[in-house]
Structure 1
Amino acid sequence: MKSSTLNLAGIGIWCTAVVAGVVACGGGGGDPGGQGTLRVALTDAPACGFDHVYVTVDKVRVHQSASAGDGEAGWTDLAVTPPRRVDLLALTNGILEELGSVPLAAGHYSQVRLVLADNVTGAATPANAVQPTGGSLVALNTPSGQQSGLKLQAHFEVGSGQLADLVLDFDACKSIVRAGGSGQYNLKPVMSVVPRAASSIQGVVTTTLSLSSTTVAAQQAGATLRSTTPDASGNFSLPFLAPGTYTLVITSEGRATGVVTSVPAGTGTTAVSTAATAITLPTSSMAEVTGTVSASTLSGGSTVTAPVTDATVRAMQAVAGETVEVRSQPADAVLGSYNLRLPTAAPVRAAYAASAPLAFTADSAAAGKYTMQSQAPNRAVLSKPADISSGTGTQVNFGY
């Protein structure tokens, strides 16, 4: 069976000792002549607008060199036999799909690759596929060969007689890209590598929200580090967080954005709300910010404009002096277009306190006012304002 390789070389990972003598990551030494064990699991953030996102995992590969090529010696493979078809949308709220474990020589490792089985033409069930909400199953176009555009560092240490325990966090929402009007979707993998640590932030949102459209994200400095959707009872969990302080951003269709600041994560669980104090958000009308991302070049004395198809567009909002990401979307893989549906009402903000329920207040000055950002590999970040406070949508185009 053919396979597609996703290169995960370029995001640093942190790690903590979960049980003495069990985990060694990020700096331990261990006996370089000994042997440890690598264990790997798969999890997912929520996917926007899909009922199912299937990928079929063939193997996980690791190498001590961040620059090692496919055919070089020194690779260790964790084979998934037979290849396993996984619905990523079943892996939210910290649910893991165990991929297995493999003996691994003690030492420092700098490259991880996830290998997916290729779709077979004519197969009744595609190995990799998506099902848009209300639609039919569509084979997912996956990249083939080494993915030079996705280079995420995955530095971890394996000590002699110890376990390196890693989780591959697959962000399906940012990884599935519409391909124009073809009805097809491309996989543009957005993944991170995190240790299986015990820290988490948990809470409950009211079931009066549209739970299928609700997202809870743990952010720092406007960057989403982990996100999830609540279950049918409104419970949510954001596990595997590095120790630190986070801002929670809660979004839902037909509701104002909720922001909870100063939420700590350590070695245990931080609960921001319970069933008795479930988070609710004010109702809000929604409006769309649409546009395209393009780049112009000179060719033969003429200006040629083409869509930028590897861009991501983010809707940022300043809430009581802190900038958060409300939504983001990869640009269309053919047209370079985007369409973000955003609340027009004022966002609400509360500061976390361990001894008191959350008390939200509205930031009226921020109602319907966003900063749109375009990010693309090897290009500058572009920012433009978008004002939908009147309740009507607007268009924001980006040009490089």
Structure 2
Amino acid sequence: MEKVKKYFIILVLFFLVIFISGCINILPTLEDDSIAPGKGRLKIYLTDSSGDYKANDSETYSAVYITISRIEAHIAGDNEGDNEGVEGYWIILKEWDEGDISAKIDLIILKEEGISLLLTENELIPNKYTQLRLFVTKASVLIETKSKENKLIEVGTNWEPVEIPSAYQTGIKLIHPFEIIENGDAVLTIDFDAEKSIIKTGNENNGNYKLKPVIKVVTNIFE
């Protein structure tokens, strides 16, 4: 009888251990939000807080797409910060492969939906940084045409290409000094003004579109 009782207790304990183990395995794990020792964190968002997206009196942009290939940050050198004897240099924060759908962004959607889109999140060495560099490889617009009486004539179905001048093909420099501190967070927002950044050249009915970036960078949080 004692033997049976002993085996019964062992069996109960065995199943109890299995049950507890199963419960532990199904518990949700918390995402690790810690920063690596000796590093700080940088998050960069993209938004558009511009206005009515008018190309001219009769044309309005119903979509403005840009394609981003890379974003970089410039570490301050000895003439730009406190790093004696160190030259400034660029580092790549993120690169997008050609054809990556996440690199093609409609700025108007960001505006209409009130979205700040996370472009990149990086852990960086604590330092002063002087600027960002944004590489835009393609841009296009969709046009909605209205009469002078503000009556809708045509909703665009063809994408109009936007020329990117050679000066911007090597990156759009965004001068905005910021600092990364150890175990701290810096959060920047790139505010890309689509309405002011797309310029129509030529006549109203048969013109071309050109990119002339109007962008500001805002520091949201630094701690």
TM-score scaled to structure 2, two decimals? 0.60
Specify the alignment match of 2:214 in structure 1.
190
Q: Which structure 2 segments of 5+ residues have no match?
A: 1-33, 55-59, 81-86, 145-154
Q: Which structure 1 segments of 5+ residues have no match?
A: 1-21, 23-32, 118-126, 198-400
Specify the alignment match of 2:194 in structure 1.
172
Is residue 118 of structure 2 the alignment partner of residue 98 of structure 1? Answer: yes
Aligned residue-pair number:
153
- Does the residue aligned with 1:174 lie in a helix, a strand or coil? helix
- 1:284-363 maps to which residues of 2 (within 5 A)? none
Specify the alignment match of 1:76 in structure 2.
91
Specify the alignment match of 1:36 in structure 2.
40
Deviations 1:183-205 (A, max 9, x none): 320000000001235xxxxxxxx
Structure 1 residue runs of 4+, over 2 Å off? Answer: 45-48, 64-68, 80-83, 143-148, 150-153
Q: Distance in 1 between matches of 2:41 and 2:119?
A: 13
Q: Distance in 2 between matches of 1:59 and 1:80?
A: 4
- Does the residue aligned with 1:137 lie in a helix, a strand or coil? strand
8 Å contact from structure 2 (residues 126, 181) kept in 1:
yes
**Greater per-residue helix proportion:** 2
Q: Percent identity?
A: 33
> Cα–Cα, structure 1 residues 176 and 146, in superposed 2: closer, same or farther, change >3 Å?
closer
Deviations 1:312-332 (A, max 9, x none): xxxxxxxxxxxxxxxxxxxxx
Q: Distance in 1 between matches of 2:193 and 2:118?
A: 17
Question: What is the RMSD computed on CA atoms of the aligned residues?
Answer: 2.9
AA matched with 1:196: N
8 Å contact from structure 2 (residues 43, 187) kept in 1:
yes
Report the alpha carbon displacement of residue 163 of structure 1 after superposing the two structures with TM.
1.7
AA matched with 1:188: K
Q: Distance in 2 between matches of 1:131 and 1:105?
A: 42
Report the alpha carbon displacement of residue 89 of structure 1 after superposing the two structures with TM.
0.3
Which structure ranks higher in relative contact order (CA pairs < 8 Å, sequence separation ≥ 6)?
2
- Does the residue aligned with 2:175 lie in a helix, a strand or coil? coil
Q: Distance in 2 between matches of 1:39 and 1:145?
A: 27
Is residue 90 of structure 2 the alignment partner of residue 86 of structure 1? Answer: no
- Does the residue aligned with 1:91 lie in a helix, a strand or coil? helix
> Cα–Cα, structure 1 residues 151 and 90, in superposed 2: closer, same or farther, change >3 Å?
same
Q: Distance in 2 between matches of 1:62 and 1:178?
A: 31
> Cα–Cα, structure 1 residues 80 and 185, in superposed 2: closer, same or farther, change >3 Å?
same
Is residue 179 of structure 2 the alignment partner of residue 157 of structure 1? Answer: yes
Deviations 1:264-284 (A, max 9, x none): xxxxxxxxxxxxxxxxxxxxx
Deviations 1:287-341 (A, max 9, x none): xxxxxxxxxxxxxxxxxxxxxxxxxxxxxxxxxxxxxxxxxxxxxxxxxxxxxxx
AA matched with 1:64: I
Q: Distance in 1 between matches of 2:139 and 2:134?
A: 14
TM-score scaled to structure 1, two decimals? 0.35
